[in-house]
Structure 1
């Protein structure tokens, strides 16, 4: 069901902070490293990963304002700053309330530092080589990526949606993924299509701050 930009923009503006069911707050959640399982906060009614808590100054979700959607994308209109205790944080979570995770507040998530993203495919030759083809993908060895299915397609067999993989064996237009940094490439056994997004967690050994610049949070509907 491909949509044009008018429809995409209308759908995204339905998530504006001015809308009752929209995205009004942004949170910060920790990294879950459990390949090949889904390591993200997920798309269920509640966030599946752990949100930051405590610290001094105390962590809190931050209210967000959104610019009008354009070109099938919608981004935050002002910067956000989060006080966080020691930890490894990988996800910016989307909420409809300043607190709570009981089944009505959660809206979804975005990877921290996830500006490198794109589409990939696995054809019969890729299955043999355990590679993903994506022209000019921009990924480098040891980058962490999350893989998603697109439209009604299935991920290539052997890969798990939401798992956080490490890039290995990359060329300009192809890459492989492993469950551990520098590990063996995942054995891909079936063809398919996917969407990938790089993730670079923020690591704090002591109290710190995560700052999200204006326009850095991008709700992207160009894949629908």
Structure 2
């Protein structure tokens, strides 16, 4: 059931910080789980316990303001800066509360996840590649895979796992559980398709700051 942009914009504006149940704060979560485990904060009511904590200056969620939705997308209207202790951070999390705690959790997005798209698999299973025209990924990139339209991912791939890209070409790539490692063996087509999004972790050996530019967080409803 596709919606037009007018409907998508209405839905996205329902997440505005001015709405009582909307996304009022942004948090930062670590990337710690090795594939093929789900490394994301999750989409349930309670996220994984990976949000940043501590440090000096102390970490805190930041209040966010959103621009009006347009063309089925909505983005933050101002930059956000987070003080974080040492660690590897991979996700921004969406909250209705300033925290701490897990109440008011509304979802997540990968850090630096501007490269994204749909993919399909070779139905002959003669190789372990996934296909996406001009996908923009390179070997060594980290990428998260998702199912789409309630379909199942091809067997061998785990939703939410943060894989490494290997054997990339202009229109296809494979994924591995380690950098430069063997490709994951895809053994069945499943739903035959999926969605990918690149993540570029921010790594700190000591106290540091993560800055998210204005318009860098994009809530995208163009796929519905």
Aligned to 1:14: 14
Tell me which residue corresponds to 1:97: 97
Tell me which residue corresponds to 1:182.
180
Q: Structure 1 length normalisation: TM-score?
A: 0.97
Q: Residues of 2 paired with 1:66 and 1:109: CA distance? A: 16
1:223 aligns with 2:223: yes
Question: Does 2:171 match 1:193?
Answer: no
Aligned residue in 1 for 2:58:
58
1:106 corresponds in structure 2 to 105
Equivalent pair of 1:117/1:196 in contact (CA under 8 Å): yes
Alpha carbons 1:47, 1:101 under 8 Å: kept: no
What CA distance in whole angstroms lies between the structure 2 residues aligned with 1:32 and 1:208? Answer: 18
Where does residue 160 of structure 2 map in the other structure?
162
1:78-113 deviation per Cα after TM superposition (whole angstroms, max 9, x unaligned): 0000011111100000000000434x4100001001
CA contact (8 A) 2:32 2:88 kept: no
- Answering whether residue 114 of structure 2 is matched by residue 118 of structure 1, we say no
SS of 2:58's partner is: coil
Q: Distance in 1 between matches of 2:188 and 2:17?
A: 42
Root-mean-square deviation (Å): 1.0
Is 1:31–1:49's contact at 8 Å kept on the other side of the alignment? Answer: no
Partner of 2:5: 5
Give the SS at the match of 1:136.
coil
Q: CA deviation at 1:32?
A: 2.4
TM (normalized to structure 2)?
A: 0.97
CA distance in 1, matches of 2:122, 2:174: 13
The unaligned stretches of length 5 or more in structure 1 are: none
In structure 2, the partner of 1:148 is 146
5 Å-filtered alignment, 1:64-79, equals: 64-79=64-79
- Give the secondary-structure state (helix, strand or coil) at the position aligned to 1:124: coil
Kindly indicate whether the alpha-carbon contact (under 8 Å) linking 1:119 and 1:195 is maintained by their aligned counterparts in 2: yes
Deviations 1:14-41, CA, capped at 9 Å, x for gaps: 0000001100000000002221111100
* Aligned residue pairs, count: 222
1:176 and 1:186 map into 2 onto residues whose CA distance is 7
